[in-house]
């Protein structure tokens, strides 16, 4: 089974500063990678996805992520954060070999400080 | 509807009561997933349906948990004889086809067992 590791449980960052949220997954032949955002009392909303092709993926709200196969990583970045980016962020992976299961990390709580 | 709908949003049950949680997926979505999210944790897989067939129920924590999707659309997660450790947010998600299709989540049902 796949596993997903989000090394940072909490990330505080000042408004307009850049941020990187880290995600590593266990290796597999081929994987699909996703980042989701969860605002309080809401479900998860898709930020971006990597299926194949270009390793740099752009998503909504100015976020992007880079797939690095050799390091089995899929880190999420934003060059300048806003107060409204304060939320919980989850990295997820699926590989198509385990009955369409999606595996989630434990999440990173991003707090943007005014 | 436009998105995945879950009801009720909040449910308080006394220990030992049975509860039923409903999920209306996006129309036409083949795959439906149930996840359990404890406070401060990522979603944990419970079970997966493809149309009306329950293809994977390996994540159900005990035989008190039961899920169905009899007509391949609406799904119900039932928990019998609820225990305090069942307190969590239960998330439903649907996707169009396979593991390359992102999950679309509902807002969840927060279950509190007293």
Each residue's pLDDT expressed in tens, for chain B with a length of 114 residues: 579 999 999 999 999 999 999 999 999 999 999 999 998 888 999 999 999 999 989 999 999 999 999 999 999 999 999 999 999 999 999 998 777 788 899 999 999 999
Mean residue pLDDT of chain A comes to: 90
At residue A6, the pLDDT reads 96
CB B34 within 8 A of CB B44: no
How much is the pLDDT for A102? 83
Give the number of other Cβ atoms within 10 Å of residue A34's Cβ.
27
A21 has a pLDDT exceeding 60: yes
Q: Give me A12's structure tokens.
A: 């505080």
Q: Return the higher-pLDDT residue of B111 and A51.
A: B111
Window 33-92 of B: residues touching A by CB (8 A cutoff) are 33, 35, 40-45, 48, 50, 55-56, 91
3-state secondary structure of A83: helix
Distances (CA, A) of A91 to A32, B1, B45: 11, 27, 14
The mean pLDDT value for A61-65 works out to 96
Indicate which of B48, B102, B112 best probes the interface with A, i.e. most A CBs within 10 Å of its own CB. Answer: B102
Q: Over the stretch B52-84, which tens digit does the pLDDT of each residue have?
A: 999 989 999 999 999 999 999 999 999 999 999
On the question of pLDDT at A39 being above 60, the answer is: yes
Q: What's the pLDDT at A41?
A: 81
- Residue B7 in contact with residue B108, Cβ under 8 Å? no
For testing the chain B interface, which of A6, A28, A100 should be mutated: the one with the most B CBs within 10 Å?
A: A100
Place of tokens 């169905």: B68
Q: What percent of chain A has pLDDT over 70?
A: 92
């Amino acid at each position: 089974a796949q596993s997903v590791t989000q090394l940072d449980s909490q990330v505080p960052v000042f408004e307009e500063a850049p941020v990187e949220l880290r995600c590593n997954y266990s290796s597999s032949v081929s994987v699909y990678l996703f980042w989701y955002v969860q605002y309080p009392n809401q479900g998860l909303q898709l930020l971006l996805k990597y299926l194949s092709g270009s390793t740099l993926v752009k998503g909504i709200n100015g976020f992007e992520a880079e797939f690095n196969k050799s390091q089995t990583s899929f880190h999420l970045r934003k060059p300048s954060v806003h107060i409204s980016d304060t939320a919980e962020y989850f990295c997820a992976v699926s590989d198509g070999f385990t009955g369409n299961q999606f595996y989630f990390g434990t999440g990173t709580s991003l707090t943007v400080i005014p | 509807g436009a998105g995945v709908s879950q009801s009720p949003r909040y449910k308080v049950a006394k220990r030992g009561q049975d509860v039923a949680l409903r999920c209306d997926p996006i129309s036409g979505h083949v795959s439906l997933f149930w996840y359990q999210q404890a406070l401060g944790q990522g979603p944990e897989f419970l079970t997966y349906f493809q149309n009306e067939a329950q293809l994977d129920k390996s994540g159900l924590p005990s035989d008190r948990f039961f899920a169905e999707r009899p007509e391949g659309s609406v799904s119900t997660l039932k928990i019998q004889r609820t225990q305090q450790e069942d307190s969590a947010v239960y998330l439903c998600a649907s996707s169009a086809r396979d593991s390359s299709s992102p999950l679309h989540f509902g807002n969840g049902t927060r279950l509190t067992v007293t």
